Amino acid sequence: MNISTQSRLLFFWGVLTAITLIAWWIGTHHSDTSLHPEAAVGLSAMAITLIKVRVIIREFMDVRNAPSKLKYITDAWLVIFIICISIAYFAI
Amino acid sequence: MNNTARYEDFKSRSELDSGEAKYPGQAAMWALVMIEAMTFSAYFVVYTIYYKLNPEAFLRSQAELSLGFGVFNTVILLTSSLSIALCVFHSREGNIRTALRYCLLTVAGGLLFSALKIYEWSVEIGKGFTFSSDEFFSYYYFFTGMHLLHVLVGFIALGVVYYQLINPSRRDQEIIESGATFWHMVDFLWVIIFALLYVMR
Residue B2 has pLDDT above 90, yes or no: no
Q: Tell whether the model's pLDDT for residue B31 goes beyond 70.
A: yes
Can you list the pairs that A42-47 forms with residues at least 24 positions away whose Cβ atoms lie under 8 Å?
A: A42/A89, A42/B200, A42/B201, A43/A86, A43/A89, A45/B195, A45/B199, A45/B200, A45/B201, A46/A82, A46/A85, A46/A86, A46/B195, A46/B196, A46/B200, A47/A82
- The predicted complex's ipTM stands at 0.92
A83 touches chain B (CB under 8 A): no
Asked if A60 lies within 8 A of B85 by C-beta distance, the reply is yes
In this prediction, residues A29-41 reach a mean pLDDT of 74
> Taking 70 as the threshold, does the pLDDT of residue B4 lie above it?
no
Determine which helix (DSSP H) or strand (DSSP E) holds A76, and give its type and residue range.
helix A68-91
Q: What's the pLDDT score for residue B131?
A: 93
CA dist., res. B119 & res. B117, Å (int): 5
Q: How confident is the model at residue A38 (pLDDT cuts 50, 70, 90)?
A: confident
Question: For residue B16, is it left (φ>0), alpha (ψ between -120 and 50) or beta?
Answer: alpha
Closest CA to A60 of A26, A92, A17: A17
Given an 8 Å threshold on Cβ–Cβ distance, is B68 in contact with A63?
A: no
When the pLDDT of each residue in chain A is averaged and rounded to a whole number, the result is 89
d(CA B186, CA B168): 28
Residues 43-62 of A with CB under 8 A from B: 45-46, 48-50, 52-53, 56-57, 59-62
Q: Which helix (H) or strand (E) holds B78?
A: helix B67-93
CB A53 within 8 A of CB B191: yes
Using pLDDT thresholds of 50, 70 and 90, give the confidence band for residue A2: low
Q: How far apart are CA A37 and CA B160, in angstroms?
A: 44
What is the average per-residue pLDDT within B149-162? 98
The verdict on A22 touching B (C-beta cutoff 8 Å) is no
Question: Binning pLDDT at 50, 70 and 90, where does residue B5 land?
Answer: very low
CA dist., res. A51 & res. B136, Å (int): 25
For residue range B162-196, list pLDDT tens digits in order. 999 999 888 899 999 999 999 999 999 999 999 99
Q: Please answer yes or no on whether B78 and A17 come within 8 Å at the CB atom.
A: yes
Element (H, E) at B185: helix B173-194
Residues from chain B that touch A56, judged by Cβ atoms under 8 A, are 81, 184, 187-188, 191
A2-10: average pLDDT: 86
pLDDT in tens, B67-86: 999 999 999 999 999 999 99
Report residue A36's pLDDT band, with 50, 70 and 90 as the boundaries. Answer: confident
The DSSP H or E segment spanning A22 is helix A2-29
Q: Which of A23, A45, A88 faces B49 most closely, judged by CB atoms?
A: A88
Q: What is the rounded average pLDDT of the residues B17-21?
A: 58
Would you state the torsion angle of the CA atoms of residues A66, A71, A77, A82, taken in this order, to the nearest 10 degrees? 130
Confidence (pLDDT) at A33: 64
User: pTM of the full predicted structure?
Assistant: 0.90
Contact A52 B200 (CB under 8 A): no
